[in-house]
C-alpha cells in the first residue's frame, strides 16, 4: 500500500534506515494513525543523539518538508 520495497520497510522497523518525512506520513496514513503516534516510539536515549537525528532529518528535507517540520515543531512546543 505504501509503494515501498518490503525490505526497506523492514529496515525502518529495525532502526537500520532513516525514513523520509514523506515515508513517515505515508506510513501514518496507511496505518490510520496520527503522525505523532509514530514519533512517540522513535527516540534516542541521549539528548545529543536526538539533536543529531533531528539535524540529519533537516539536512535531507526539501523546502516543502522544512515548512511542514517547522509547523509541527511549533505545535509540539506550543507556540
> Where do runs of H (alpha helix) occur along the chain?
6-13, 21-31, 35-39, 47-60, 63-77
Query: pTM (2 decimals)?
Result: 0.47
The DSSP 8-state label assigned to residue 4 in this structure reads S
Q: What is the mean pLDDT of residues 57-79?
A: 88
Q: What is the pLDDT of residue 53?
A: 81
What pLDDT digit, counting tens, does each position of 18-64 carry? 888 888 888 889 888 888 877 766 555 677 877 888 898 899 999 99
Cα–Cα distances in angstroms (integers) from residue 40 to residues 16, 33, 43, 52, in the given order: 18, 12, 7, 18
In degrees to the nearest 10, what's the CA dihedral of 70, 44, 26, 56?
A: 60
Amino acid at each position: 500500500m505504501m509503494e515501498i520495497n518490503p525490505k526497506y520497510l523492514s529496515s525502518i522497523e529495525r532502526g537500520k534506515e532513516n525514513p523520509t518525512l514523506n515515508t513517515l506520513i505515508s506510513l501514518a496514513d496507511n496505518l490510520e494513525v496520527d503522525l505523532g503516534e509514530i514519533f512517540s516510539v522513535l527516540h534516542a536515549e541521549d539528548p545529543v543523539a536526538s539533536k543529531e537525528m533531528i539535524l540529519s532529518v533537516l539536512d535531507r528535507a526539501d523546502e516543502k518538508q522544512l515548512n511542514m517540520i517547522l509547523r509541527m515543531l511549533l505545535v509540539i512546543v506550543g507556540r
